[in-house]
Amino acid sequence: FKETDTHLALITEIWGKGSKKDLYKVTELLQMKGIELLFDIRKGKRGGGSGVAVCSENFSIERINLNIPKGIEVTIAKIKARSGEGKPIIVFAIYSSPKSKFKKELIEFVMMQIPKLKTKYPKASFILGGDRNSIPLDVFSNLYPGIHQINMKPTRLSLIHI
């Protein structure tokens, strides 16, 4: 985070299985000094998962607990600047495997939650990102008025600086 001046990262494909032992290993591996992390691993099956990490020096992070339907891989968090300046940011980190049977459900879930969270957090900005694999790009950018696609190129093995 410090080397690249990164303040927020959306993480996908954590590759946990959901057992307590595996959860501990993933937590230990992903906890680094100066980083606060929230993540969700796929239960009962290896692969997938999602997470949100922030530079703890500059931001606080809080999980937004929603009833997430089975098969949908998403971590939802509210981040705020520790300085108290600026608006809160609601972050959706999504993962949709290439052969997911839950693509429609994921899209519908996000589509339903954004308006609810905009009502609950009227001053918040929103970030939606992750690994959509075979879901067309325009599906997410057309979900809700005001959503704009920022990155237009694949990000495998590269960082996005915004």
Residues 12-71: tens digit of each pLDDT: 876 666 556 665 666 666 566 778 888 887 776 667 788 898 988 899 999 999 999 988
Q: Which two tokens stand for residue 155?
A: 């990000």
* CB-CB contact of 14 with 7 (8 Å): no
Query: How crowded is the C-beta side of 28, counted as CA atoms within 13 Å?
Result: 6
Residue whose pair of structure tokens reads 């809700």 in the numeric block? 144
DSSP classification of residue 118: H
Question: What mean pLDDT comes out for the span 131-150?
Answer: 73
